[in-house]
Amino acid sequence: MRTILFLIIGGIGFDINHLIAYLNNPVKYMSLVGALENYVLVVLWIVGLYIEKGKFQS
């Protein structure tokens, strides 16, 4: 569970990095795609964390 929390924090860091790169140079669409991809990945990790948390409580 701690590993997933570290992945979420790291993913948010990468998201911010890609988003700032896109805002500095809007021509770089790949930075925007990277930011969106990482945001989706973080949301999926959070969903997975709740699923795993529910399994251990039962």
Backbone angles phi, psi at 28, to 5 degrees: -80, 85
Structural domain boundaries enclosing 30: 2-57
Check residue 43 and report its DSSP letter.
Answer: H
pLDDT at 19: 93
pLDDT tens digits, 1-58: 788 889 999 999 999 999 999 999 999 899 999 999 999 999 999 999 998 888 776 5
Count the neighbouring beta carbons within 10 Å of the beta carbon of residue 22. Answer: 19
Burial class of residue 28, CB neighbours in 10 A (0-12, 13-18, 19+):
middle
Integer-rounded Cα Rg, in Å, for the chain is 14
**Number of independent structural domains in the chain:** 1
**pTM attached to this predicted model:** 0.80
pLDDT at 58: 55
